[in-house]
Chains A and B, each alone.
Chain A
Amino acid sequence: MNALNADYLFVFILAAFLGFQLIKKVSPLLHSPLMSLTNAIAAVVIVGAITITGEEGATPLAKTLGFIAVFCATVNLVSGFMITDRMLKMFKPRGK
């Protein structure tokens, strides 16, 4: 727990390379929705916030910080996914 777990680095490197390949393929048309989508996905930090807020023996300080973090992450993931979808709905092919 107190040293770098090489597994984590392994996962990070693979995910970063995969990310580069996937993002390179995204059409420049969709760069704005892409940004709000990745922002919503990054709001998965909510899982860390949930643990901090709700775990046994959480101090009042931890609960307060965790509470704000859960709030911020929820705002991001809810509005992020919804706005991305709203933007994508507007991209219509010809003749529609």
Chain B
Amino acid sequence: MDAFVPFAAIAASALFILSLMWMSHPSTARRGVRAGEIGMVIAIIGALVQHEVVDYNLIIIAMIAGAAAGIPMALLMPMTAIPQRTAISHAFGALAVGLIGAAEYYKHAHAEYAGGFIMWALMFEILLGFLTCTASIIAFAKLQELMGSRPVSFPGQRIVNGAVALAAVVIGVTLALDPTQTWLFPVFAALALLFGILLVIPIGGADMPTVIALLNSYAGLAASAMGFALGNKLLIVAGALDGASGFILAVIMCKAMNRSFANVMFGGFGNVVAGAAGGKDDRVVRSASAEEAAMQLENAGTVVIVPGYGMAVAQAQHKVSELYQALTKKGVDVKFAIHPVAGRMPGHMNVLLAEANVPYEQLVDLDDINPELPQADVAVIIGANDTVNPSARDDPQSAIAGMPIIEADRAKSVFVIKRSMNAGFAGIDNPIYYNSNTQMLFGDAKDMVGSIAKELAGGGSGLH
């Protein structure tokens, strides 16, 4: 049976690669999932038939328990909870990696491995695995609102973080050079876990897309490191694919905010500039009613809807879809402008709108929608703020200067659905609210969009 094992690894690697290839487009993506599933089954069979494996009881129990937990989670998880689910799954994956690393360490805690490659790979794997685990748990807690999404900072934070990181690395190196010092191992694991917590508490909610992508990358790299330590090429390949994916997504997120990794990870954004806004509120804000908005939308040729995290918070995606349907029925061309960092994870808005039955052709990326906006009759901003802030483009002094924005202000007229005049996550004043072509629709996103859709459907009579 052992002859099968290397071929299982090759087949599984090939299927994982095909899986990612087919993810390029919605029309082939589900085939990609099938390929991934088959690859996984082959990989697991390959692991089970190795001659080293003699005791199956615990493995079977753990797999049944895992499936029993995983299946209901997959079936019942609401789409609005996808960012949290992603964060907690990174924690699970990274914990598995860390624990396997720990078991391997104890197996190899003999003098003959001192300074050997296996030890270095294991220490790297364990450090990355454990820190990704706690970092993902904190990200989960912030997304699930178990803790505040504002950055947590304390005096001397960078010094403390640096000291913890340094201590973890020093102990890791010590253990790699002398694996027999087993008493140091729990200290090493604890420092890695602590560092993960410290790494994410100073990061605010709106930076979560980058953080989640980066943690995705770390989890992949940790799996790859495990492949190096165990001499398993399948793990190296799968980990490298996962690591590359997370890394690219993180780069896309950073570019979409015109910020560097270092700035996201250590910037404490949101806290720094929160006090800067406000104080000058003699500008005029025009507000409108749902009826007025409905009338203008009905007479428009093209409408661009710009959703943001506020739409997800208000769970307004189904009402937004109703608005889309009603306008489309009246012959209005409706598109959605999706900013890469809108929401709490990469692609968040797309999933919510797809769930609400908006066809994916209507979901347009930042770069493709901006040239169309000057021709758009109406832009409707729903729960987005910083991603449409013109000062990012116009004001070099702005805290978000240079961040690519959706140029909703260039549309002929703009409606902004917003609860109140409070500043967004970045705490930065948004001049779009005071533009002469902007009208504010004050209220809850779900209720407001719902009443506009009702007006449109009922032709103003209020009947549905």
Contacts and interface: CB of A to CB of B under 8 A. Distances in A.
Please determine whether chains A and B interact with each other in the same assembly: yes
Interface of A: 1-5, 7-8, 11-12, 15-16, 18-20, 22-56, 58-59, 61-63, 65-96
A73 B244 contact: no
Nearest to B112: A2
A21 to B, nearest CB: 9
Given A44-B40, A66-B100, A88 B70 contact: no
Interface stretch (B166-174, B226-234, B438-446): B226-234
Contact of B235 (A3, A48, A62): A48
A37 B118 CA distance: 29
Contact of A74 (B13, B29, B62, B365): B62
- The residue among A54, A62, A68, A85 with the most chain B CB atoms within 10 A of its own CB is A54
Contacts of B26: 27, 29-30, 88, 91, 93
Nearest to B104: A52
A40 B59 CA distance: 19
A15 B241 CA distance: 6
A24 B37 CA distance: 22
B264 interface: no
A5 to B, nearest CB: 7
Contacts of A51: 47, 50, 52-53, 230
Given A31-B346, A35-B245, A86 B58 contact: no
Interface residues of B, number: 116
A48 B233 CA distance: 11
Interface of B: 12-13, 16-17, 19-21, 23-27, 29-30, 32-33, 36-37, 39-40, 43-44, 46-48, 50, 52-56, 58-59, 61-63, 65-67, 69-71, 73-75, 77, 79, 82, 85-86, 89-90, 92-93, 95-97, 99-100, 102-104, 106-107, 112-113, 116-118, 212-213, 216, 219-220, 223-224, 226-228, 230-246, 248-249, 252, 338, 340, 345-348, 350-351, 354-355, 357, 359-363, 365
A72 B88 CA distance: 11
Residue picked from A36, A37, A43, A66, most chain B C-beta under 10 Å: A43
Q: Main SS of the interface on chain B?
A: helix
A41 B100 contact: no
Contact of A18 (B17, B27, B106, B246): B17
Nearest to B71: A78
Given A11-B237, A69-B96, A94 B361 contact: yes
23 contacts: A12-B237, A20-B244, A22-B24, A26-B24, A35-B216, A36-B89, A41-B39, A41-B238, A49-B96, A50-B48, A51-B230, A54-B55, A65-B103, A70-B63, A71-B66, A72-B95, A72-B99, A73-B96, A75-B92, A81-B40, A83-B74, A83-B77, A88-B29
A79 B74 contact: yes
A44 B29 CA distance: 20
Nearest to B82: A32
A58 B20 contact: no
Contacts of A90: 79, 351, 354-355, 357
A42 B239 contact: yes
A38 B16 CA distance: 9
Contacts of B102: 65
Given A26-B24, A45-B96, A74 B216 contact: no
Contact of B56 (A11, A54, A67, A83): A54
Nearest to B26: A91
A79 B71 contact: yes
